[in-house]
Amino acid sequence: MANLNTKRFFIGILSIAFLVVLLFAIYKETQKQLPNYKPEPVVSESTRHCMSCHDEKGEGKIIVEQWKDSKHAQVGVGCIECHKAKKDDVDGYEHHGDFIATIVTPKDCAKCHEKEAKEFTASHHADAGAIMGSLDNVLAEVIEGHAAFNNGSNPAAASGCWQCHGSRVAFLKNEAGEIVRNDDGIPRFDPKTWPNTGIGRINMDGSKGSCSACHNRHHFSVAQVRQPENCGKCHIGPDHPQLEIYKESKHGINFYAHREEMNLDAQPWIVGEDYKAAPTCVTCHMSATPDQPVTHEIGARISWTLRPKVSEKVDAALIKKYKKLGQPLPDNFLTWQERRGNMQNVCSQCHSKDYVKNFYIQFDNSVNMYNEKYGKPGLKLMKALKENKLINPVPFDEKIEWDWFLLWHHEGRRMRHGAAMMGPDYTQWHGNFELAENFYTKMVPEIKELIKKAKSSGNVSGANNVQKVLDEVLNSEMHKWYLGKMSPEEKAKRKEASKKFRERYTH
């Protein structure tokens, strides 16, 4: 009897235990279905050591919270897995028994993300720190700012240009040339150069760029990095208003209207499979299509460079560069046609082939018109002014130099960017209109004035040479209207069009 009761008792207990386990398993499964479900982080022994201080009581403790919410935490990539340094790393230091570095560079991420790091390093992004010495750089280093602050730093560069382009990171040194450390023995970074997440940052380990320019730490969330605003930290403002252009385009309108359906945290994120409403910056420039993998080479789908005074096809600039270096073209060299093909493959997920083809004809025409009407003549005129000593060699000390800079660097780029990314207001009112206004009401009258001044100060031959170039430009097909020299046929055509317009709008 007693035996049977004990048996029943154990069976009962086992059944209850089984039921509890089953209920718990069901509970766990349902939890996983919840939208905000996060599994427990996987913490390695050495990372546990880091967290013993950085969790809860440490400085910057929210870092740990952010990390716990990340994909990295789920797969056991913790503090030490990223921050660990080798004994001979120039940026490493002893920290409570571990040898670590504060800055996790592309070289460090490359240990696990080789493909992304390789593509990023080969892109223009990684080279964006090499602007020192450019014309824009003179603007910041000399004209706008002054290097007399914070131990010889120039705030215009340190808090401006470098925050987008990247600084050259360095530790702070004392007069004897030794690294300055804080009370805990942690080397202090030179505040001229850090904090900085510029896209082309030059790191102490020799690597270029920063992954955290786009991937905000410590979430490293793919939803965050796919937001248009993410690129907009840098791609914004009067000389490269890509974010503003995107927002006014039909693509931006559709994105903001259907953001919830965009599935921004899906991995992978394939246009047409994971989302359909609209392309973001990343869709067109980086993300996967059913035929193309994700790329961190943001130039892989671009055929023009729209930045210089006169636009060229992207491979023209590269071919010149390799020729200058005396190097053969690399095996994986992409021609502009191949790059354009990559972009058109993105468009054709949502548009027909001919629609896309016509768009590119409109876009090419805009770039070519800018080149012929403003870029090339502007260059020719500025060269003539300089060679004939109507302006001096000091950059930016004369008004015409500012007007020319605004023409190509602001207005001309805005127009080209507007045409590339379907922002008609930037193409027209912030672009073509201002190009014309600048050229006809500023540059041309100022050149005439400079000619007059040169003549009266004895530089007659210089004045005549520039007059010749100006006459050539103004008598050309695109500019002769300015001299009242429109052909009779063209005049008649304009008159007829104007009459028809009045007829249409008077009733």
Residues between 419 and 448 with contacts to ligand HEC, criterion CB under 6 A: 420-422
Residues in region 208-237 near ligand HEC by CB under 6 A = 210-215, 217-218, 220-222, 225-226, 228, 230-237
Phi, psi of 366 (to 5 degrees): -65, -45
> If binding means CB under 6 A, how many residues of this protein chain bind ligand HEC?
126
Binding mask 72-101 for ligand HEC (x = CB under 6 A): x--x-xxxxxxx-----------xx-x-x-
Q: Which is nearer to ligand HEC, 230 or 438 (CB)?
A: 230
109 lies in the binding site for ligand HEC (CB under 6 A): yes
Q: Which is nearer to ligand HEC, 204 or 466 (CB)?
A: 204
Phi, psi of 252 (to 5 degrees): -65, -45
Residue with tokens 């410590």: 218
Tell me whether the omega of the peptide bond preceding residue 218 falls within 30 degrees of 0, making it cis. Answer: yes
Q: Which of 5, 36, 174, 182 binds ligand HEC (CB under 6 A)?
A: 182
Q: How far apart are CA 400 and CA 343, in angstroms?
A: 38
As measured in angstroms, the least distance from the Cβ of 506 to ligand HEC is 29
Residue 386 near residue 400 (C-beta atoms within 8 A): no
147 lies in the binding site for ligand HEC (CB under 6 A): no
Q: How far apart are CA 130 and CA 209, in angstroms?
A: 11
Q: Which of 3, 36, 174, 267 binds ligand HEC (CB under 6 A)?
A: 267
Which conformational region is residue 326 in: left (phi greater than 0), alpha (psi within -120 to 50 degrees), or beta? left
495 lies in the binding site for ligand HEC (CB under 6 A): no
Q: Which is nearer to ligand HEC, 192 or 479 (CB)?
A: 192
254 lies in the binding site for ligand HEC (CB under 6 A): yes
In single-letter form, the type of residue at position 258 comes to H
As measured in angstroms, the least distance from the Cβ of 107 to ligand HEC is 9
CB under 8 Å to 294, separation ≥6 — which residues?
A: 268, 286, 287, 288
186 lies in the binding site for ligand HEC (CB under 6 A): yes
Binding mask 5-44 for ligand HEC (x = CB under 6 A): ----------------------------------------
Q: Which is nearer to ligand HEC, 234 or 385 (CB)?
A: 234
**Residue 454 burial by Cβ neighbours in a 10 Å radius (0-12, 13-18, 19+):** buried
- Residue range at the interface with ligand HEC (CB under 6 A); choices 103-111, 167-175, 456-464, 468-476: 103-111
124 lies in the binding site for ligand HEC (CB under 6 A): yes
107 lies in the binding site for ligand HEC (CB under 6 A): no
Residue 167 near residue 198 (C-beta atoms within 8 A): yes
Q: How far apart are CA 416 and CA 129, in angstroms?
A: 24
Residue 271 near residue 279 (C-beta atoms within 8 A): yes
334 lies in the binding site for ligand HEC (CB under 6 A): no
As measured in angstroms, the least distance from the Cβ of 496 to ligand HEC is 29
- Residue range at the interface with ligand HEC (CB under 6 A); choices 71-79, 368-376, 398-406, 488-496: 71-79
Q: Which is nearer to ligand HEC, 83 or 430 (CB)?
A: 83
64 lies in the binding site for ligand HEC (CB under 6 A): yes
CB under 8 Å to 272, separation ≥6 — which residues?
A: 289, 290, 349, 350
Q: How far apart are CA 437 and CA 433, in angstroms?
A: 6
In single-letter form, the type of residue at position 150 comes to N
Retrieve residue 71's tokens: 């994909």
Neighbours of 171 (CB within 10 A): 18
Q: Which is nearer to ligand HEC, 302 or 385 (CB)?
A: 302
Binding mask 354-383 for ligand HEC (x = CB under 6 A): --x--x------------------------
Retrieve residue 373's tokens: 């009407």
Q: Which of 85, 91, 92, 140 binds ligand HEC (CB under 6 A)?
A: 140
- Residue range at the interface with ligand HEC (CB under 6 A); choices 29-37, 45-53, 369-377, 474-482: 45-53
As measured in angstroms, the least distance from the Cβ of 153 to ligand HEC is 14
**Residue 26 burial by Cβ neighbours in a 10 Å radius (0-12, 13-18, 19+):** exposed
Retrieve residue 405's tokens: 């800079």
Dihedral over Cα of 126, 127, 131, 133: its sign: positive
